Amino acid sequence: MDNQPIKIGLPRAMLYYRYRVLWRTFFAELDMETVVSAPTDREILEQGTALAIDEACLSLKIYLGHAAALMGKCDYILAPRVSSLGRHRSFCTRFESMPDLVRNVFRASGQNLLTYEVDEGMQRKDEESAFLEMGRSLGCPAKAVKRAYRLAKKADAAAWKERVQKHEQRYKTEGMKVLIAAHSYVAEDPYMGRPVTDYLKQAGVIPVRADIVDRDAALKHSRELSPTCKWEISREILGGIVQHKDDVNGIILLSAFPCGPDAMVNELITRRVEGVPILNLVLDSQSGTAGVETRLESFIDIIRFKEGTL
């Protein structure tokens, strides 16, 4: 039993979609196992909805459903606190409160949580020192943790570069393209963004993503739309829109209800991005695919009508 590797549970939601390579490589380099919850299904959604307060956004409800699915199946569940990567580089408050929230919701479960804290704004605590602390809390020697972190960062950067390069090819493909502006965990979730991209594909439209971009370049470009937006992920999306709005036939602003950052940022996009049709689609746990499909169908018709191909 003692020789069993430590098992770290990763809820397949929210920051998992951003940090999956980093996390999985880091723990693998420390000879630990990672267990990822299964893709979102109705049961996960219902369980998360039952655990969350009504005001929680759909992404958070889904996250709690994934955390619940991992209970008792791993030694620790990873629930990091990621607050800020620096000035004008904040994360939504849901990410700041994540470990407290998970600890509180599952307080009776006896499940161990694993966390790390990144706050390069107020506390000047960077990701590397946060990972070092987390590794030490798992009983690993500092040298091994440092090495694992460096290798994980390298793997993460290489995987992202390859993904961005591959994604850029889509803009060169012939045909109608629609840019999806959404947080990755919304765009890729089987109960949120996936039905939207599936619908677009079967309608002969090429979906492209505003968040799959060179992140440093996107942060710089984001200032053209908003010099004051403070959320890191929103700024990446804004930058992606600036870079690609002229390469696409339409933009879909895809949000999870109720999302504070998106409510502000999407309003800004609607006012400042001109010359391209924009559809604002807000998903909640009640939206059936039928309503979404009708809106997508008319949006595609509007684009075709505008371009004289209807």
Under rule CB under 6 A, which residues in 156-185 are in contact with ligand SF4? 183
Burial class (CB in 10 A: 0-12, 13-18, 19+), 14: buried
The number of residues that bind ligand SF4 (CB under 6 A) is 11
The site string for ligand SF4 over 42-81 (x = CB under 6 A, - otherwise) reads: ---------------x-xx---------------------
Could you tell me the smallest distance in angstroms from the CB atom of residue 256 to ligand SF4? Answer: 4
* Least Cβ distance, residue 272 to ligand SF4 (angstroms): 20
Minimum CB distance to ligand SF4 smaller for 132 or for 213:
213
From the CB of 98, what's the least distance to ligand SF4, in Å?
9
Draw the binding track, 256-285, toward ligand SF4 (x: CB under 6 A; -: no contact): x--xxxx-----------------------
237, burial (CB in 10 Å: exposed 0-12, middle 13-18, buried 19+)? buried
Q: By CB under 6 A, is residue 193 in contact with ligand SF4?
A: no
Which residue, 243, 239, 269, 274, is CA-closest to 254?
269
Q: Tell me the C-alpha distance between 123 and 80, whole Å.
A: 16
92 binds ligand SF4 (CB under 6 A): yes
Query: Cβ neighbours of residue 32 under 8 Å, at least 6 residues apart?
Result: 5, 6, 7, 8, 138
Residue 33's DSSP bridge partners are 7
Which residue type occupies 64?
L
Nearer residue to ligand SF4 within complex by CB, 89 or 170: 89
Instruction: Assess contact for 242 and 217: CB atoms under 8 A.
Output: no
Q: How far apart are CA 241 and CA 237, in angstroms?
A: 6
Q: Output the smallest distance, CB 186 to ligand SF4, in A.
A: 6
Residues of this chain that interact with ligand SF4 (CB under 6 A) are 57, 59-60, 92, 94, 183, 256, 259-262
